[in-house]
Structure 1
Amino acid sequence: MATGIIHCGACGFTINVKAVSDDSQTNSRRSKMIKLEITSDCPNYQKIAKELTEVDAYKEMFNKLHMGKVYETFAKHSPHPSCPGVSGILKTVEVAAGLALPQTASISITKDN
């Protein structure tokens, strides 16, 4: 299981992701199903969580940008294209599938006047 906690920024919302690999499935290059449990205080991600309960990690990781199920669901329910939640979900899926090591990722933004 991989866990991701995404603090989205100025909106103050947090997204929690649990991603579990179906280890009974063969680890082929064709398919690796990941069950998702997403919770958030963001009303948009509450909608996303209801719809996005399982993804094929290989289709998400090796598809063209914005063409996987995660991006399609995000585009359907979120009006904010720069939200870091979508990349946080994908990174958590990637780790659960064994395609990446668990590491802390962050975005730090400042503004100089």
Structure 2
Amino acid sequence: MAEVKVFSGICGFNTSVKVESKNMRDAQIEFQTECPNLKPLEPELKEVKAFVECFAKVGDSPVFQMARKYCKHAACPVPTAIIKGVEVACGLALPKDAVIKISK
């Protein structure tokens, strides 16, 4: 199982993602978010095909298509974090933190 924690930044909404795969192709997703915009996605996004998600062009994957219905912020890291969790759970990537640091 892959676990991903997202601390989205100035909005202050945190998200927890758990992804499990029994066959390295299909990924079962469970996520909980504090974001009121993404909250409706929790019961909708339950399973995805790993190769479809992980090898789609940026913004074209089913996760991004579903998130697009609810997410109001183009820079939201949650859809990408979900796909990173799918990669790890399905053996398409090793677990390693992705970090965005912003300063002014």
Say if 2:74 is the partner of 1:57: no
Moved over 3 A (4+): none
Normalising by the residue count of structure 2, what TM-score does the alignment of the two structures yield? 0.94
Alignment RMSD, CA only?
Answer: 1.0
Q: Write the distance in 1 (CA, Å) between the matches of 2:73 and 2:88.
A: 25
Larger of the two Rg values belongs to structure: 1
Deviations 1:40-98 (A, max 9, x none): 11112211112111110100011222121100011111010101111111111110010
Equivalent residue, structure 2, for 1:4: 4
Unpaired runs of 5+ residues, structure 2, are none
Matched position secondary structure for 1:105: coil
Identical residues among aligned pairs (%): 39
What is the 5 A alignment of 1:48-87? Answer: 48-87=41-80
Q: Alignment length, in residue pairs?
A: 104
Corresponding position of 1:21: 21
Q: TM-score, structure 1 length as denominator?
A: 0.87
Verify: 1:105 aligned to 2:74, yes or no: no
Structure 1, unaligned runs of 5 or more? none
Q: Residues of 2 paired with 1:47 and 1:100: CA distance?
A: 28
**In structure 2, C-alpha distance between the alignment counterparts of 1:42 and 1:12, rounded to whole Å:** 9
Greater Cα offset, 59-68 or 12-21: 59-68
